[in-house]
Each structure stands twice: as C-alpha cells, then as structure tokens.
Amino acid sequence: MESTCLEGKTALITGAGSGIGRAIAETFARAGARVIVHDLKDAAPLAEALGGVFLAADLADPEAVRRLAAEALALGPVDILVNNAGFQHIAPVEDFPEAVWERMLQVMLTAPFLLIKHLLPGMRARGWGRVLNIASIHGLVASPYKAGYISAKHGLVGLTKAVALEAGAFGITVNAICPAYVRTPLVEGQIADQARTLGISEEDVVEKVMLAPAAIKRLIAPEEVAEYALFLASDRASAITGSVQVIDLGWTAR
C-alpha cells in the first residue's frame, strides 16, 4: 500500500501507548495520518516522535471519555477512530470481582460507544469516516475464566454491526478486527495469570491453551494487526463495512 494513503487524515487511537495500539499509531503515522495517541499512562514521547498529540483519559470514567472526544475534536476533525484500549482479568465467574466486571465493560464497550457517538456526526458531515474496533477472537468464541473480557468483546462486535448499518450511507465504514493471541504486554500478563489459575507452567499456557486450537503455532505480531487496520482505514477498503475481520491463525477453521 502506498505510504501516503492516509495523508490529510486524523486518527484517534485509544490504548496507543503499547502493544497493538502503538503499532497502529506508528503504522498510520508512516501512512501520512496525524495521530492522536490516547492512553491512561503518559505516552507523550511516543506521540511527539510520531508528530502527533497525546491525550490522557481513564476510559472507565464516562465523563473522561466525553472529555477525550471533546479534546480530540478541539484539535480539528477526527476522520478515523480506533477503539483499541482494553485489559484482562482471569478468574472463575464465581470469583470474578464485580468492580472489575464493571470496569471491563466500561473500558471495552461503553467507551467505544461514547467515542463513536461523539465523533460520528463530524464524519457524517464530511462524508467520510472510518471506525475500527479492535475486538478479539474472544468476540466470537469463548474460553473459561474470562467472563468480563469475552462479554465486552462480544458486545463490541455487535456494536460494530449496528453502527455500520446506520453509517454506511454517509461514506463511513465500521469494522471489527478479531485477532487471536498477539504478543503484547497484555498477553504476556495473561500468560502468567493463566499459569497461576490453571496450575501449569507458562510454556504450557502458550502451547496447550493459547495455541492449541490454532493451525499456525505462533503468537501474532502487533504489526500484522496494524497493517490490516491500515488497509481497512484506506480507500481501498471502502466496500467493507459491518465485517468481522479474523486474524486467528486458523482457530475458527475447526
């Protein structure tokens, strides 16, 4: 894909300080976009290195999410929204803390809804927009001990489809990317958590849990997801909307 396919576009990417979000921010910046790097922690050096802007917000706080949308729009039109931020908690459902459940749904479902709600009108007025929701293979299938994460990601896939139907007539596409396990700090933490929960080694978690259903026995690189996101954000993907794009190493082929 040409290196300037996002020239003149502005992209807000949540959770862009590390992992998939960082890879998307870097990839979009190389493609000519001005990136608004959101994270809970300080990611100003990354934003500065990419020629972008850093905005901090706790996505578990609905008022903070509304402020984030307003601050992003104060910088100018936002053409591309990437809802990427997330976190994980591993526990049997009977031991799953209610406060963690609520925070997971706020960060991974309510915050994307609010950002879409506030940014979509500008996209509609300009007749062009892209919304990319970074879901997960767990937006399509389930695994034990992840009730909060799986519920949020299933909801995010449904939100993707509903908004795509509403926005399609205005030149706006809305798609979800559902990767299997990507080698990120989040997944590295999951490996340790699952090893403790299941009483097995970290090597066995990767081999016997994370990669057991996969035809390709490796973790996905963040850059692979970022390149897919770049394609969906470009004009080359203007006919693709309401879709669930799976990068799952063959997981769901069974």
Give the pLDDT confidence score for residue 130 in this predicted structure: 98
Q: What are the residue boundaries of the structural domains of the chain, listed by start? A: 10-179+221-239, 181-219
Q: Which amino acid is at 164?
A: A
Among residues 145, 149, 181, 228, the one annotated as catalytic is 149
Active site residue 181: no
User: Is 2 or 98 the better-scoring residue by pLDDT?
Assistant: 98
- What is the mean pLDDT of the segment spanning 152-166? 98
Give the pLDDT confidence score for residue 1 in this predicted structure: 45
Whether pLDDT at 56 is above 50: yes
- The model's pLDDT over 214-232, given as tens digits with 9 standing for 90+, comes to 999 999 999 999 999 999 9
- What is the mean pLDDT of the segment spanning 166-186? 95
Phi, psi of 40, rounded to the nearest 5 degrees: -75, -35
- The model's pLDDT over 177-221, given as tens digits with 9 standing for 90+, comes to 999 999 888 788 778 877 888 899 988 888 888 898 899 999 999
Residues 236/168, Cβ–Cβ less than 8 Å? no
Phi, psi of 220, rounded to the nearest 5 degrees: -85, 145
Alpha-carbon gap, residue 9 to 32, rounded angstroms: 8
Give the pLDDT confidence score for residue 35 in this predicted structure: 98
CATH value of 10-179+221-239 in 2.40.37.10, 2.60.40.10, 3.40.50.720, 3.50.50.60: 3.40.50.720
- The model's pLDDT over 102-146, given as tens digits with 9 standing for 90+, comes to 999 999 999 999 999 999 999 999 999 999 999 999 999 998 989
- What is the mean pLDDT of the segment spanning 137-163? 96
Whether pLDDT at 2 is above 60: no
Residues 139/112, Cβ–Cβ less than 8 Å? no
- What is the mean pLDDT of the segment spanning 33-42? 97
Give the pLDDT confidence score for residue 190 in this predicted structure: 78
Q: Band of the pLDDT at 245, cuts 50, 70, 90? A: very high
Residues 177/153, Cβ–Cβ less than 8 Å? no
The rounded mean pLDDT for the chain is: 95
